[in-house]
Amino acid sequence: MRLLVELSARAAYAYQNDWHRKLAGRIWQALRDTPYDDRHDNGEPPGFVFSNPFPPEDAAAGDSRHLLVASPDEELLAYVADDLQRDRELNVGEMPLYVDRLAPLSTDVGEPGSEGTLETGTGVLVRIPPERCPDYGIDHPQGEDGDTAVYWRPEHTMEPFRTQIENNLDRKHGLYAPDHLPGPSDRSGDLFDGYDLLKTFAVPVGVTDRKRLTYVLSKWRFEYTVRDDHHRRHLNLALDCGVGERNSLGLGLLNLPKPDEDETEPATSRATSEESTEAQRVE
């Protein structure tokens, strides 16, 4: 499920690339003193993901903007919605916004046999643990004794990307799905039928008040055919929780464009599919 937040600019602003942590702070504020407060900085996927304020461009006072927050937990989204209704000023760094309207959105990849495409709305972060680098034939940049994770790049081939994405979704399934249901790796077949890499790029992200990291991210178009009800559930979990790492910073959001070109959900899906042009491309 998703929460669509319709916004307007309270004043003119220049779009900021470092929206990730500032927007995350407002969402965690909404979850403070709720049953979800203990998810903050606990090292586990948070069970939600969100978009950048989009479209990602400079704004004049009064311009319309949008925000999406997704989660498999409707109660979590209700807490976020309640906070945004009570305090309608939404300041994302130097981008002063006002919450005009909130609306729930339902997303579903479709019944078994359905075919479709999922597009990454924000960059996907995949890090390969150093101990797995030899398995994939990856030379660690720090040598054989390197102890840091390696950002996935196209030259690393698709195997580590697919494996890390599935392992990450397994982790989310273990946290936010019923225990008796099989996770993605318990079922045969790939999560997606096709992986169309659109681009890789580097973007600086503030991860704490004093620490900034430059993440290597990737943008994708994933094709799928729903094999059965379990596969449908796994794909919908990816829609609700995001793919890859650092979803709590808004990374890994997926969108489900509709084929009928209806201008409600597809417009938001397409708008979130492009990051700022100032991000550095990684060849």
| Sequence spans of domains, the chain | 2-105, 115-281
Q: Which CATH class is domain 115-281?
A: alpha beta
Confidence of residue 146 (pLDDT cuts 50, 70, 90): confident
Q: Which CATH class is domain 2-105?
A: alpha beta
- Predicted pLDDT at 113: 96
Q: 159 Cβ partners below 8 Å, 6+ apart?
A: 136
The gap from C-alpha 19 to its chain's centroid, in whole angstroms, comes to 13
Above pLDDT 90, what percent of the chain?
77
Instruction: For 238-270, write each residue's pLDDT tens digit.
Output: 999 999 999 999 999 999 886 654 433 333 333
Number of Cβ atoms within 10 Å of the Cβ of 50: 30
CA within 13 Å, CB half, 37: 6
DSSP for 44-104 reads S--S-EEPPSBS-S-B-TT-EEEEEEE-S-HHHHHHHHHHHHH--EEEETTEEEEEEEEEE
Q: What positions carry a catalytic annotation? A: 41
Confidence of residue 142 (pLDDT cuts 50, 70, 90): confident
For residue 32, pLDDT beyond 80: yes
The reply to whether domains 2-105 and 115-281 share a CATH topology is: yes
46 preceded by a cis bond (ω within 30 of 0): no
